Amino acid sequence: MKKTVLILAAAVFVIASVSAKEKKNKKDKNAPAPVTIVKVFTDGIDSMSYALGMNVGNDFLKNLKGIPGGKSNIDLVIKGFATAMKGDSTLMTAEVANEVFKNYITKAQKADTDAKKTEGEKFLATNSSAEGVIVTPSGLQYKVLTPAEGPKPTAKDTVKVHYTGTLLDGKVFDSSVERGEPIEFPLGQVIPGWTEGVQLMSVGSKYKFFVPYNLGYGEQGTQGGPIQGFATLIFEVELLGIKTFKEPAPEVEPAKTTEPAKPAAKKAEKSAAKPAGKKK
């Protein structure tokens, strides 16, 4: 919390500095610009305190929207915050408050994930009998939107695709189409539903995949991201290209070169031959 307050305070200071600098650059050099000072409170400390409270409040409001269940009593949040800040007598101790908050979040998260799991299972059960939908043994469902003929990638290949990913409520959580730039990645390094599904495609084809949670981001979802645990996902994928994986050539050890054998050294001759002795 201290870190958040300091960051927000620094952000207020930086924004004010940048704004002042921009105004200074825009003014006419030959004529002094009038200086306008807005006094919100009696002194700078009061004004800064109110501005800091606004920034912290806006930050808290964003966090409240991410609380499991999506519900909170803002009036009581403000009351609890103000009581703790002033050091007044609170309705519960800090230890009890931590326990209450932790227990609520744990139960709310379980309720959210259970609902998400049930929602996905019902959707897939109904969708499996929809026209054009094919179900693989793993549970992946897909529909061919634009057929194409030609080679298909393997899990070792790198593919180039355009895609859009949505949740069951239709919310787009990721899209290379919206970014206007396709993406390349090794097919064996993505979620199982993609690894399996894209291998069914040929370049130029476009498929729609319905990915169960166990072939997607599992029970945990994306930490801090838009995909909750047990989420069933829908992707529209267009395969634009394949870079076939090539096994690296085995390293060949350089042939050992043997030095030519050195000529055998001649036996050292006797430095001086003994004269033949006379026969007696």
**Structure confidence at residue 54 (pLDDT):** 87
pLDDT at 29 over 70: no
Mean per-residue pLDDT for 219-235? 88
**Structure confidence at residue 9 (pLDDT):** 44
**Structure confidence at residue 68 (pLDDT):** 74
**Structure confidence at residue 11 (pLDDT):** 45
What are the tens digits of pLDDT across the range 166-207?
Answer: 999 999 999 999 999 999 999 999 999 999 999 999 999 999
173 classed as catalytic? yes
235 classed as catalytic? yes
Q: Single out the catalytic residue among 142, 163, 209, 213.
A: 163
Q: Helix 2-26 vs helix 44-65: angle between axes, to the nearest 10 degrees? A: 120
pLDDT at 60 over 50: yes
217 classed as catalytic? yes
**Contact criterion met (CB below 8 Å) for 112 and 69:** yes
Q: Single out the catalytic residue among 59, 67, 191, 245.
A: 191
**Structure confidence at residue 14 (pLDDT):** 39
Q: Single out the catalytic residue among 60, 81, 123, 173.
A: 173
Q: What percent of the chain has pLDDT over 70?
A: 75
pTM as predicted: 0.61
Six token digits for residue 274: 């003994």
Mean per-residue pLDDT for 8-14? 43
More confident residue, 28 or 234: 234
pLDDT at 232 over 90: yes
pLDDT at 3 over 50: no
Write a three-state SS string for the chain: CHHHHHHHHHHHHHHHHHHHHHHHHHCCCCCCCCCCCCCCCCCHHHHHHHHHHHHHHHHHHHHHHCCCCCCCCHHHHHHHHHHHHHCCCCCCCHHHHHHHHHHHHHHHHHHHHHHHHHHHHHHHHHHCCCCCEEECCCCCEEEEEECCCCCCCCCCCEEEEEEEEECCCCCEEEEHHHHCCCEEEEHHHCCHHHHHHHCCCCCCCEEEEEECHHHCCCCCCCCCCCCCCCCCEEEEEEEEEEECCCCCCCCCCCCCCCCCCCCCCCCCCCCCCCCCCCCC
**Structure confidence at residue 10 (pLDDT):** 45
What are the tens digits of pLDDT across the range 95-144?
Answer: 998 999 899 988 988 888 888 899 999 999 999 999 999 999 999 999 99
Q: Single out the catalytic residue among 209, 213, 217, 230.
A: 217
213 classed as catalytic? no
**Structure confidence at residue 136 (pLDDT):** 97
Domain 132-243 grouped into CATH 3.40.1360.10: no
**Structure confidence at residue 23 (pLDDT):** 46
**Structure confidence at residue 163 (pLDDT):** 97
> In the chain, where are the structural domains located?
1-65, 132-243
pLDDT band for position 19 (cuts 50, 70, 90): very low
**Structure confidence at residue 179 (pLDDT):** 96
